[in-house]
Structure 1
Amino acid sequence: MILPTRDCVFQTPGYVPGEQPQTTDFIKLNTNENPYPPPSEIFEVLQGELSKVRLYPDPVSTQLRKAAARVFGVSHEQILAGNGSDDILNIALRTFVNPGETVAFLDLTYSLYETITRVHGAAIKTFPTNEKFELDRPLICPEAKLIFLASPNPPVGQHLNRDYLEETCQKAAGVVLIDEAYVDFSAENHLDFLAKYDNVIISRTMSKSYSLAGMRVGFGIASIPIIEQMDKVRDSYNLDRLAQALGTAAFESYQYFQQVWAKVCQTRERLIKSLKELGFFVFDSDSNFVLASAEWIAASELYSQLKDQKVLVRYFKHPRISNYVRISIGTDEEIDRLLEAITQIKMSH
């Protein structure tokens, strides 16, 4: 049987997420999860929700959005809750872009932007980063109905130039979505853009900084008119009861997570220093991961040899970064094990 698949779907390679091992004996430094669990007290909210699972959840995640509003410093009416921030990206695309219209993003960034744009049947315009993988000019694309810009931008993990981002927002004819998935591991964000530009959406996730990757909780933050239109596109009941309850409780433990973020950043700086001592080039990072390469070993070989030692890092076949591995920040013990493994590999070369 020939399936009546849309051409844009049939011709699009599927998004490839980081490897999820089926055993528990790996040190998992490949998917940028938070290495520390949420505080145990947030799970106390679950018992009351488990008895209600026969009932639909709040379709608009009211309590979660109100808790998020307190943290983000905006009205809850400016917030749309999503099934992870990936849901927010898809909702924005479906809200503001007709098939055939243009979506713009950088040539090296979160690869899901390309996947969802192609599946939607929209046209793609990519803009080059420089040899340091930086945005070295504003992204000006008058035909773009939607611009995706991640800051910090994976896989390098650095913030984009703030002045260029601001000029991009000023001159955009369409909507600019600033993806802040990793922003809590840095000292800056772009929430202030919301008061200046009515065409800006900020996306956030609780997967990384709030240790809830398994629950899939994300947000779009924008002007009320933008949120009102996106809410029409959102799937009904897009967050289940448990996700809403845990997300709300996690925001109420904000001070705990601030301490976790500081610990991750401290470990990140130690990892960068240690990798450099082992002969690596390492980019500075505003995220919970680093991008590194070494002349003494190919990145693909390092990935394979680390995997043999039950340490998972991320290797990309993208030609611009095929000499690099991306390493998530784990606990100090996990990073010690990684460094021991790399030292052993280097000694054998």
Structure 2
Amino acid sequence: MPMLPIRECVRQTPGYVPGEQPQTTDYIKLNTNENPYSPPQEIFEGLQQELEKVRLYPDPVSTKLRKAAAQVFGVSPENILAGNGSDDILNIALRTFVNPGETVAFLDLTYSLYDTIARVHGSSIIEISLNHNLELDQPLICSEAKLIFLASPNPPVGKHLNREYLEKTCEEATGVVLIDEAYVDFSEDNHLDFIHKYDNVIISRTMSKSYSLAGMRVGFAIASPAIIEQMDKVRDSYNLDRLAQFLGAKAFEFQDYYQQIWQQVCQTRNRLITSLRNLEFLVFDSDSNFVLASPQWMTALDLYTKLKERKVLVRHFKHPLINNYVRITIGTNTQIDRLLEEIGNLKNDK
């Protein structure tokens, strides 16, 4: 059989590794940063009518969804491009602004998909090192980068990047800066004002985490109309299905409901951080719906394995900077109580 003509950059790129998705329902699933609370049942009213239209193509430009998002984000619909999750937005930005061989920059510890899609695209990559506290301690100045990916809050640590350094990065960049705000609703800060200050900035958002719609894949690019116009040329036709558009637009109508959920997640997060520190963990402060924590009496890999045996899933990464940490998604109070109980039992058995 002849060798398949696979592009060399694809052949050499390790595939993105998502969190485990167990096929049974007996796990407490704290490994993929999903929202533990369901969306309001009211968003499903009218869904049957949409199901009856599935033989028809959806709105190719997600008009109702973009209008609803614009109202919440305080911008015009012309400032918004809808995507099949924010991962779609990342790919669209890469294909819009970067020729194969040109430079993409991002941090050495961040969302790992940036590296995967840049390599598959055939980009030259520059990784900027965080300091020993896993923080950005200076502006990211990279004059050759056509695109800079920066997540704030930055996974898997979960903290916002320094706002002053982000501003300086945007001011000095000769290319486009995409600020990924996938977790921003679980914090008190955001960077939407940057799109009015800098004509080279894109903000990406998702409804997967804070709006409890991970299964629908709804994301957005928020930027100047000039940027959105060019990205729209690259967007796949009909990139959001009919149901995703409907549920996303409806969800935006229930801001009070979601605000309560976000506050509950933050309260549970803060309780988890305190409890883990009392159990002799090193834990980073978090602006996200997860925490990064390192047990001081067991390796993180052993903790992950033993918790999995007890039907509690957390995330362990092989990245050398955090291979003795686990990332724990904030679940319900009941789920977190179970997690802490199992950790306490493991510690007492040592």
**TM range, normalised to the smaller chain?**
over 0.9
How is 1:205-284 mapped onto 2 (pairs within 5 angstroms)? 205-284=206-285
Match of 2:81 in 1: 80
Q: CA deviation at 1:13?
A: 0.2
Give the structure 1 partner of residue 304 of structure 2: 303
| Deviations, residues 282-321 of structure 1 (Å, cap 9, x unaligned) | 1000000000002100000000000000000000001110
Q: Which amino acid aligns with 1:213?
A: A
Structure 2 portions without partners, runs of 5+: none
What CA distance in whole angstroms lies between the structure 2 residues aligned with 1:159 and 1:300? 26
Query: Matches of residues 1-349 of structure 1 in structure 2 within 5 Å?
Result: 1=1, 2-349=3-350
Give how far 1:43 is off.
0.7
User: Matches of 1:141 and 1:275 in 2, distance apart?
Assistant: 38
Q: Secondary structure of the equivalent of 1:252?
A: coil
Shift of the alpha carbon at 1:186?
Answer: 0.1
Cα deviation for residue 255 of structure 1 reads: 1.2
TM superposition score normalised by structure 1: 1.00
Distance 1:64 1:156 in 2: 31
Question: Is this contact kept in 2: 1:102–1:146, CA < 8 A?
Answer: yes
User: What's the C-alpha RMSD, in Å, of the aligned pairs?
Assistant: 0.4
Deviations 1:200-236 (A, max 9, x none): 0000000000000000000000000000000000000
Counterpart AA for 2:82: A
The C-alpha deviation readout for 1:257-297, integer Å capped at 9, x for no partner, is: 01100000000000001101111111000000000002100
2 CA distance for matches of 1:150 and 1:243? 24
- 1:254 Cα offset (Å): 1.3
Amino acid in the other structure paired with 1:231: D
For residue 123 of structure 1, report the CA deviation from its aligned partner.
0.4
Following TM superposition, by how much is the alpha carbon of 1:45 offset from its aligned partner in structure 2, in angstroms? 2.6
Contact kept, 8 Å, 1:169 with 1:176, in 2: the verdict is yes
SS at 1:259's partner residue? helix
Cα distance in 2 for residues equivalent to 1:74 and 1:176: 19
**Separation in structure 2 between the aligned mates of residue 258 and residue 69 of structure 1, nearest angstrom:** 18
> Structure 2: which amino acid aligns with 1:309?
R
Question: Could you tell me which amino acid in structure 2 is paired with residue 89 of structure 1?
Answer: L
Q: Deviations over 1:2-31 (max 9, x none)?
A: 111000000000000000001000000000
Equivalents in 1 of 2:255, 2:220: separation in Å?
Answer: 16
Query: Which AA in structure 2 matches 1:38?
Result: P
Amino acid in structure 2 at the alignment position of 1:133: L
Secondary structure of the 1:336 match is helix
Question: How far, CA to CA, are the matches of 1:294 and 1:28 in structure 2?
Answer: 19
Q: What SS does structure 1 have at the residue aligned with 2:291?
A: strand
Structure 1 contact 81–220 (Cα < 8 Å) conserved? yes
Distance, in Å, in 2 between the alignment partners of 1:117 and 1:160 is 22
Q: Partner of 1:228: helix, strand, or coil?
A: helix
Q: 2 CA distance for matches of 1:155 and 1:132?
A: 13
Amino acid in structure 2 at the alignment position of 1:299: A
Query: What SS is found at the alignment partner of 1:140?
Result: coil
Deviation string 1:168-189 (CA, Å, 9 cap, x unpaired) is: 0000000000000000000000
Maintained 8 Å contact 1:184/1:209: yes
- Match of 2:266, as an amino acid? C
CA contact (8 A) 1:45 1:246 kept: no
Tell me the amino acid that sits aligned with residue 243 of structure 1: A
Q: Aligned with 2:24: secondary structure?
A: coil
Aligned partner letter, 1:85: S
Cα contact 1:206–1:217 (8 A) shared by 2: yes
Instruction: Note if contact 1:45-1:249 (Cα within 8 Å) is conserved in structure 2.
Output: no
Alpha-carbon displacement from aligned partner over 1:68-120 (angstroms, at most 9, x marks no partner): 00000000011000000000000000000000000000000000000000000
Letter in 2 for 1:293: S
Q: Would you say how many aligned residue pairs link Structure 1 and Structure 2?
A: 349
For 2:253 and 2:46, the matched residues in 1 are separated by: 12
What amino acid does structure 2 have at the position aligned with 1:140?
I
